[in-house]
Amino acid sequence: MPTSFFDNTGTDFRSAQYTAVISDLHLSEAEPVNIRFPLWKKFKTRQFFFDDVFETFLKHIEEKAQGAPIELILNGDIFDFDSVMALPEQPAFHVSWLERHRGLFPRQERSRFKIEKILKDHADFMKSLREFVLRGHRVIFVTGNHDLELHFPAVQEEILRSLNLPEDKVQQIRFVEWFYISNQDTLIEHGNQYDPYCMCEDPINPYVRGYNYVSLKLPFGNLASRYISNGMGFFNPHVDTNYIMTLSEYIKFFFKYIWKAQPGLVFTWFWGSLATLIHASFDRLSAPIRNPLSIEDRVSLIARKANAEDRMVRELKELFSDPAASQPMLLARELWLDRAFIVFIAFFLIFQLMVFVRSVYEASFFWAFIPLFALLPFFLFYSKSISSLVSSYKEPDDRVLAMASAITKVKRIIYGHTHITRHEIIGSVEHLNSGCWSPAFLDVECTKPLDQKTFVWISPGENNVRQAELMRFLEGKSEVVNPSAR
């Protein structure tokens, strides 16, 4: 089982005057432009990289802090390991057929290759981050659902190697498991632990053992991204409405964009959905690797890195959602496999009926369309009666956040994950969602961007009490986001 090399917590991270929080950058490899079908994963092409904007953003918040040290929280899904499709030219490990078509499995040596690829394609981003740290600031990586592979020590090591910092500045970088407490007044989480489709089942013990290898147990959402989204490049995974549609919307979308480029899309979806369901179901049965002799040391380390107490780690873990993988039928409905099964059974029964009829009477197989058309209204009614729960579960429950606030003794909670900005006060707790920076578009042509570039800025207020603002960074300037305009 991998052990973390980054256990040095000597630098004091417990106090902060200025804090900036951004999330959901989804940095991935650069997708080569498809000359024949230019809309294929267009959102991943280099033209939509924002590395230069990030550099300007860092300099802007330094101006806002007027030279004071800044605590930059990269709050989850900074890297998107699930969408990396690159393969090593001469791999030192066996690459399976599934990996060649859907990306490498989450094992340490494979994850290290993927982060190397991401960092190479985003060299300007890392250069800006390096210079930011050299100027006296610190950076905290909070693990999200799409960058769960940050748990691997080799991945953290590769990020530090890419930053190429002097030894004394390395202490200004920290990786935390799923939460971080800033200045004892703000709890910062990515938020996926409250989403049953995207939660890491046990971030304290994230590894599972296979035959002659150690792997991460990925949530359902990650597996769907790998096995389905990676093979359906006309759907932008950063906007739910691009892939959660009604049957009629899917049909219109298919004939408008896909039928020439990927006529076998139904088969791609079907085997990808089966692979997702099977993998999620088997993973659910896999027990995490636990060492009873070191579990308390592990909890203490997580607490120290998060500026928390040991009991907070255990109590926050009790707030996690139950993984959706424990309900295979729910996953089958989300993947539309239940409807595929109904269609298969209908065709099989009608075929058997026609075989029987033709053994007695001379009848054409075209008569089979009569029962098919008769069953169509019932099928459409069933399909419309089922709605996806993926989006509804993304937003954390306010009661859960209130409990998290009580556990950590803070009055402010910041999260990401949903890609939807939020700033409101419920009871005595201030809730903020930092939005996203990901290449999110409402259309396949990538002409309707959801160009949020939003962040949370925490600075000293009256009576030296810190105040938080939800802001948007645009053209080198930042402005407060109106919560009512969310």
| Mean pLDDT (whole number) for 307-314 | 96
Cα angle, residue 121 at apex, residues 171 and 20 outer, rounded to 5°: 45
pLDDT tops 80 at residue 4? no
Q: How far apart are CA 103 and CA 47, in angstroms?
A: 23
Position 74 scores a pLDDT of 98
Candidate from 219-223, 311-315, 318-322, 436-440 with smallest mean pLDDT: 436-440
pLDDT single digits (tens) 417-458: 988 899 999 988 999 999 999 888 888 888 887 778 999 999
For residue 32, the 8-state DSSP code is P
> Could you please report the per-residue DSSP string of 232-287?
-TTS-TTSGGGT---HHHHHHHIIIIITTT-TTHHHHHHHHHHHHHHHHHHHHHPP
| Mean pLDDT (whole number) for 167-178 | 94
Q: Residue 226: what residue type?
A: R
Burial of residue 264 (number of CB atoms within 10 Å: 0-12, 13-18, 19+):
exposed
For residue 27, the 8-state DSSP code is B
pLDDT tier at 475 (50, 70, 90 boundaries)? confident
Q: Does domain 18-334+391-485 have CATH number 3.60.21.10?
A: yes
Position 134 scores a pLDDT of 96
Candidate from 192-206, 212-226, 248-262 with smallest mean pLDDT: 248-262
pTM of the model: 0.89
Quick one: what percent of the chain has pLDDT higher than 70? 93
Q: Where are the domains of the chain?
A: 18-334+391-485, 337-385
Residue in this structure with the two tokens 């780690």, named with its chain if needed:
313
pLDDT tier at 479 (50, 70, 90 boundaries)? very high
Position 1 scores a pLDDT of 52
Position 483 scores a pLDDT of 56
pLDDT tops 60 at residue 485? no
Position 127 scores a pLDDT of 96
Candidate from 63-67, 113-117, 365-369, 451-455 with smallest mean pLDDT: 365-369
Quick one: what percent of the chain has pLDDT higher than 90? 59
Greatest alpha-carbon span in the chain: 92
The rounded radius of gyration (Å) of the Cα atoms in the chain is 24
Average of per-residue pLDDT values in the chain: 88
| Mean pLDDT (whole number) for 160-184 | 95
Strand order in the sheet with 186-189: 179-182, 186-189, 412-415, 429-433, 422-426
